[in-house]
Copies of this chain bind each other. A is one copy, B any other.
């Protein structure tokens, strides 16, 4: 165990184990049946290594954390893993996880062989959605759409209090709705996906393009220390009264609003949860987003109120949700 970040007193048994497998770190946690994160730790992923080595380290991190808490694997009812990619829920394989360079790897069986406890796997955005609904910002809402605005646009869908994953757990790709067929090329090969407009990657591209078109925009005052554009540049500029920044944010909120409204019209959830890096803008993002949705939702004033909230658990959501997979 290279790093233990949190430990809370004596651990009641049985516990569940959640793993948030990221491109940078493997975060593992012990979670009780009340969805409390009892202890967590992480080891580096070192993506690019052979599949078996990463699974070895994942199993090792789980065993170390369990041992450190004075427990054994017999005290654990199961392990859940959130994976940054598409999983086949039937076979327990990871179909495609680009950041790990994985294609069609038998993660569930490989981890089960090493640990001897039941293993469940799912997409990391699904796990985060489940965590937020069980014990985070969306607690108490039975139907929730979680949208993660990060490098991509991830989605997690909770219906009737349960994770909805689609056939073979391969649905919930809410970032891959085309919202403008003449829009920018998306990583998935289509043009104009929600993700190609509303991810932080997209906002960075939009900011760069505007800076090129309008060299006098004043946006360069809001770059990172190293002179590069980030997903915060446009927001920092807009908050400081920069007109170009305000235009970028307005356009970004419009695209985000189109995608969110589409999902509301289809699901009519009780809540929409916004997570990921850009959700850090808080009310500066959410207030205009709520206004957009209210003006555009199907049914207008007759539509039920949908709570639009900021995710609150951060990285813990993925660990807790993974632990609660079944």
A residues contacting B by CB (< 8 A) are 86, 88, 95-96, 104, 143, 155, 157, 159, 164-168, 170-174, 176-182, 188-190, 254, 258, 261-263, 265-270, 296, 298-300, 302-304, 306
Contacts and interface: CB of A to CB of B under 8 A. Distances in A.
A159 B303 CA distance: 22
Listed from nearest, the 6 A-B pairs whose CB atoms lie closest are: A166-B268, A171-B268, A177-B262, A173-B265, A176-B265, A176-B298
Given A95-B299, A166-B268, A177 B177 contact: yes
Contacts of A180: 179-182
B296 A190 contact: yes
B86 A168 contact: no
A306 B157 CA distance: 20
Contact of A304 (B170, B265, B303): B170
A287 to B, nearest CB: 21
B266 A299 contact: no
B166 A267 contact: yes
Contact of A159 (B104, B164, B176): B164
Nearest to A192: B180
A298 B262 CA distance: 18
A298 B190 CA distance: 9
A156 to B, nearest CB: 12
Contact of A298 (B188, B254, B304): B188
A302 B143 contact: no
Contacts of A95: 299, 302
A165 B269 CA distance: 10
A189 to B, nearest CB: 7
A150 B256 CA distance: 29
A79 to B, nearest CB: 24
* Most chain B CB atoms below 10 A, which of A104, A174, A179, A262: A262
Contacts of A261: 178, 190
